[in-house]
Structure formats: structure tokens, C-alpha cells
Amino acid sequence: MEEEVIIIGAGIGGLATAVALKRVGVRAVRSGVVCRLRKSLYGLRQASRNWYAKLADAMRHYGFRQSGADHSLFIFNRGNIFLAALVYVDDILVVGNNREQCTCFKRYLNRCFRIKDLGLVSYFLGIEVTRMESGLFLNQRNAFVTDVKTKSVQQVPYGANKRGGPKLVHRKTLLQALADELDPDTIRFSRKLTSIESQVKDGHRISVLGLEDGTIIRAKMVIGCDGVHSVIARHLKLRPPVHSGRSAVRGLSVYPEGHGLVPAPQQFVDVSKRAGFSPLNDKDVYWFFICKSPSEEENIENDPEAILRDVMENWAKDFPQSYLDVVQHSDLSTLSWAPLMFRYPWEVVLGNLNTENITVLGDAMHPTTPDLAQGGCMALEDAVVLGRHIGNSVGPDGKLKPEDVQQALGKYVEERRWRAAWIIAASFLSGWVQQDGSDWWRKLLRNVFYKTIFAKIISIAHYDCGRLPNKSETSN
């Protein structure tokens, strides 16, 4: 059989790439809803003044009065009905004592301006709002770092701007959301790639893939999303990733009745050890433990009970009880132990990341340590950027010309090289500063890092992937 595109890999990168290609009108066989940024109104100096004047007129027409103490606050008082609207550029927070009146007011604004109702507030002006049984918990996007030896706690801001800091997403939920965007026959599980060869057809190169069940597939384009130990990366003659000298345990703890934890990341630092946890929602908590790898890796990666026992009774036995309680609630099926691997940044910058019809994506291209939590995010970025370049090359019939494939892959690789290299370097540096060494100057460096550098370095998560051309409707 012959396909336009074959995607090798079953993770976030593979699914996201299939969704992106579907959006641009290319059907990919694997081994929608896309956010589009409209033109900003901030391009003109007078735009903000004109917008605010028009909004204020609409508010007053509805019956609001403007606060004399804060001109961004509008108040509505009529009988026993109270509403307040706080305005920040084009974001409006509405509160009141009558749900029906809040709904009526939002409908009025929609008639005036065609607003988008984001529902109950979760984040506004750098403050995260979480609903708990006891009320609302307001958090200015801070993490808390505890020194295991001294018990001192340092508050680390990581979301001081409007965009905020990183947000945790349940991996299973993300994978399911991506899979739901695809046709069932797009995904083929349990079909391991055993060989890849190239042939010339009509003057152009195509790839011939051999699967372990004997199936032979020919493809105009092959995208390797097959992880750290990528078969496609080896085919491109990329050097294998290297061991960072550290290993990590990761898991998910489940509280059927609710955990009651403050919804803020907690981190615990000791000499050559680092651990932490962060609630995903009111019942699930993600946790990790990172340490220098033993001289001989313990053979426990397939034994979740042994992993849990070693964390509780050996590696983290001196860590705070709050952390050990989270670990104790682990769902054993989610536990993993693995060495932390990465590819040298210069190999990403200088290496061969594509041929005329083959490329790599996600960990297959740029494996990195998890210290900035950008592995999955980078795969999503790759998928959008690749989809954008392919979408700009594909014809209205959804067909790919070989010469256009080569050009699209080349543009994709050149756009991603330096971004990936910077993420790898920043993540490795972040892990080294936070974890290694107990001498006074490294402790001082850690304090400076958390107070001044961490919030800035985590901001590299903000990245504009561009806009996908929407050709899916014309290709059906």
C-alpha cells in the first residue's frame, strides 16, 4: 500500500502531528480544534483608548457606574442586586450576588461586542483561582521550595505576567483528546517498525517501511515521533542521546475522596536529590523524584512495587511527611523509573534532522531532561510548526508533491533547530543548579536562581507556533 504520510510513534507528538495534518487537509496514517490567533487590536496606539471608551459607554448604558477609586472597576447596584465588573484591556471579570443577572449582563455584552464567555474564573491578572470546599483559594502562581536539611521554605514566583506560568495537564487526558480528533482507522497500534529503505519512483524518493507483521508500506513522507530511542533518528544517522547522570521516578497519586492539598507546586531539595508534587485536580496529584543515578542502575523499572518501596524507604526517607504521604497514595500502574537522557544542543543545531522526505519530531529530535517540563509542550510545538509548513505546500486535493515535501521539511527543521537547542540547554542548566552540590556557593547560586532567574527561564514556555492554514474542508 502507498500513503501520503506515515507517522511513526504513539505519543503526544505522533497524535498531535496527525491532528495538525488533518487540519491542513493531509491524511496521515499513525503507527480540528486548533487555537488561531487573530490580529491583535494593540497594533494601533489609539486602539486601546477607543476600545475602553466604547466599553465604558456600554457599561454606563446598562446601569453601571464607574468607581472613582479605580477607573477599571464598574459597579451595578439596583435593589438587592449587586454586580461588579473589573476590566483589564479586553479581559473582564464579572462578580455578583445573582447568577441570572450575571448571565443577562454577559448576554448584553455579547450583543455589543461578541464576547467569548470563558465560564467560571480560573486565572486573572496573574492570580490563579481554585475552588475548594472551604471557599476560593487565590494563588499568584508561586511554587514553594523546601530545603530538606534546614526545613527553610522559599517562595518562587513563576507567573508574574498576564500569561501566567506553566499549567499541568493530565497526560492521559491530553492523549485521549488528541485521539478523539482523528478517524479510528488513522491509528494502528502494536505494529512495530522493523526496517526502512528508500526507493526512487518517477525521479523522486519514497520510503519503504517494513512492519513486524510483514506489512510493507510505501510513503511520500515519514515523520518519526518514536521517542528517545528513535529508529528514524538512527536512520538519519543522529547520534544516540546521552545519559545526564540522573534518573527519575514519576507517578500519579489518586485520592478518591479528594486530597485537600493547596493547588500550588511543592518542591523539596537535598544534596543530589530533588522531589516534588503538584495537584492536577482535586483528586489526582503528579509527583516526581530525581537523584544522581546509582553506579549500577537498579533493575526495578518493571517492578512498580519495588520502585515505590525504594522511594519511601530509601531514597526519600528523610523527606517531609507531606511528600511521603503523596507518594504512598500512588497508583502503581503509573509509576516509572528511567535514566534522564538528552541530546547535546550542538547536535540538534548541526545534525542531519531530515532528508528530502523524512524528518523527526518531539523526543526523537530533541530529547531533553524534564527540569523545565517542556517535553510534551515541545512535541506539540513541533506538530503545529510542521503542520503549518506542510499545509502551505499541499495542493487543494490534499496531495503532496515530492519537491514541496522536501521544501516543507527543510523549513520546519530550520525553524525548530535553535528553539530546541535552547530548551535542551536551559533545562539541563536548570536541573544542575537546582540539584547538584551542597557547598556554600552552590546554595547561594540556588537562592539567586529561585529569586531572580527561574521565573525568567520558565518564560521560554511561551512560544508562538504560527497559524495553521485551514484546508481540511476543501480536501474532503
State whether CATH 3.50.50.60 applies to domain 2-25+190-241+343-461.
yes
The one-letter amino acid code at 461 reads A
- pLDDT at residue 440, rounded to an integer: 62
Write out the three cell numbers for 321: 511527611
- pLDDT at residue 475, rounded to an integer: 41
User: SS3 string of 188-251?
Assistant: CCCCCEEEEEEEEECCEEEEEEEECCCCEEEEEEEEECCCCCCHHHHHCCCCCCEEEEEEEEEE
- CATH of 142-158+243-342 among 1.10.2020.10, 3.40.190.10, 3.30.9.30, 1.10.8.60: 3.30.9.30
Beta-carbon neighbour count of residue 155 at 10 Å? 12
- pLDDT at residue 380, rounded to an integer: 95
Q: Which of 279, 395, 377, 286 shows the shortest CA–CA distance to 331?
A: 286
- Specify whether the CB–CB gap between 364 and 232 falls below 8 A: yes
Cα–Cα distance for residue pair 471/425, rounded to 1 Å: 36
- pLDDT at residue 343, rounded to an integer: 96
- pLDDT at residue 307, rounded to an integer: 92
- pLDDT at residue 438, rounded to an integer: 56
- pLDDT at residue 86, rounded to an integer: 86
Residue 262: C-alpha distances to residues 30, 133, 285 (Å): 40, 12, 11
Which runs of consecutive H residues, i.e. helices, occur in 28-98?
A: 47-62
Q: Which of 355, 365, 302, 271 shows the shortest CA–CA distance to 14?
A: 365
Domains 2-25+190-241+343-461 and 142-158+243-342 alike in fold: no
* Every domain of the chain and the residues it spans: 2-25+190-241+343-461, 63-139, 142-158+243-342
Cα–Cα distance for residue pair 192/241, rounded to 1 Å: 21
Per-residue b or e along 246-285, where b marks 16 or more CB atoms closer than 10 Å to that residue's CB: bbbbbbbbeeeeebebebbbbbbbbeebbbbbbbbebebb
Q: What is Dmax (Cα atoms) for the chain?
A: 80
Kindly state the DSSP code that residue 14 receives in the 8-state scheme: H
Beta-carbon neighbour count of residue 164 at 10 Å? 20
Write out the three cell numbers for 215: 506489512
Q: What is the mean pLDDT of each run of 10 residues along the chain (476 residues)?
A: 78 90 72 33 45 83 86 87 83 87 90 82 67 68 79 70 62 85 69 81 82 82 91 93 93 90 84 89 90 66 87 92 95 92 96 94 94 89 94 74 87 96 90 67 68 71 83 46
Q: Tell whether the torsion through CA atoms of 361, 333, 307 and 156 is positive or negative.
A: positive
- pLDDT at residue 228, rounded to an integer: 92
- pLDDT at residue 13, rounded to an integer: 92
- In the beta sheet, which residues pair with residue 75? 65, 84
- pLDDT at residue 294, rounded to an integer: 65
